Amino acid sequence: MKFLNHRLSAAMWARVLLLWVTLAVGALVIGGIAIGLGQFVQDNIQNELAAQQISFAPEERLSDEERQIPGMVENAGQALTTGNQARVYSDLIALHTQQSTEQAGYPGATYATLGGIQRELRAAVTAATEAGNAEALEQAQTDLTAVTNLRNTLLTASNLRGNLFSAYGWGNVATGVTAAGAFMLALAVGFFVLFIYEWRRGHLAPTEA
């Protein structure tokens, strides 16, 4: 620290000034690009989500289970346009699919596990048809239709949740990139301050021959 007040030679002084200017300009450019990129991603996410025209139900229409979802009450009645809202809505879909499987008599079922049940019911339909048992055939066909519809619902819900989680993930990436850009701009300001500091201090007078 005791050497900070020592004056530099002209050559070293010029190199220090060039270093601070280069760092300042580089940080400024990188910070600007990062903020622009982050905003671009956020805008794309918002436009894509807005195009789906998904809205949260008003608060008075929320069930007790729906109110337990973090962020659900805060977003009640609003249009889904942000990554964080996409995460909340994906949790809502998960709740509804869970309730659907429980109401259908298959609690905890997934798209994959319903495939096995579907095959068993198809076999039951075939057996009832071959046996000529109209009552058993009607029951097996009804059960097969219900399971098929439930499985299709789970597939659609899974795809939608995947898209929503993707929007949530990219939203976080965009936020991180924007924050990094702001940090780089702060560094650029710091580098410019250091440049001005060195520029005002001057350098050693040329030595006499």
Question: Which element (helix H / strand E) includes 6?
Answer: none
- Residue 204's pLDDT is 55
- Residue 89's pLDDT is 95
- Residue 208's pLDDT is 47
- Residue 209's pLDDT is 42
Task: For 7-66, write each residue's pLDDT tens digit.
Answer: 667 777 788 888 889 999 999 999 999 999 999 999 999 999 999 899 999 999 999 999
Q: How would DSSP label each residue in 150-198?
A: HHHHHHHHHHHHHHHHHHHHHHHHHHHHHHHHHHHHHHHHHHHHHHHHH
Task: For 162-189, write each residue's pLDDT tens digit.
Answer: 999 999 999 999 999 999 999 999 999 9
Angle CA(46)–CA(49)–CA(51) in degrees, nearest 5?
Answer: 105
Query: How far is residue 168's CA from residue 193's CA, in Å, rounded to a whole number?
Result: 38
Q: Which residue has the tokens 């030595």?
A: 207
Q: Which residue has the tokens 């050693």?
A: 204
